[in-house]
């Protein structure tokens, strides 16, 4: 259940921070946040940090970082990066 809540928070934050049109509704937002948590954990782990460690502020920040990366990649692939 905490993955869903972290996914929702991270997905919403990423959508607020990345300009332009975003895919989907609330379910897609949660999925973006959850996949972002995995991606963010991998990126932070490459630099020696701790990834998603539970339901806390650090985990939300890591998941948001991953969700932002995911949205930027999506927009680059879709060719819709806002100027």
Given a cut of 70, is residue 80 above it in pLDDT? no
Residue 13's pLDDT is 86
Query: How do the domains of the chain map onto residue ranges?
Result: 2-78
Residue 23's pLDDT is 65
Quick: pLDDT tens for 7-58.
888 888 888 888 777 667 777 777 887 888 888 878 887 887 776 677 778 8
Residue 22's pLDDT is 67
How many residues are recorded in the chain?
A: 83
Given a cut of 80, is residue 64 above it in pLDDT? yes
pTM: 0.76
Distances (CA, A) of 72 to 32, 48, 49, 53: 12, 23, 22, 24
| Sequence-separated (6 or more) residues with CB below 8 Å from residue 59 | 6, 37, 52, 53
């Amino acid at each position: 259940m905490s993955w869903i809540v972290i996914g929702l928070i991270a997905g919403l934050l990423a959508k607020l921070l990345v300009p332009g049109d975003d895919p989907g509704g609330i379910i897609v937002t949660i999925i973006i946040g959850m996949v972002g948590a995995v991606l963010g954990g991998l990126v932070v782990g490459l630099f020696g940090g701790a990834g998603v460690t539970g339901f806390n502020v650090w985990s939300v920040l890591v998941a948001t970082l991953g969700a932002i990366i995911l949205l930027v990649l999506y927009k680059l692939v879709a060719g819709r990066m806002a100027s």
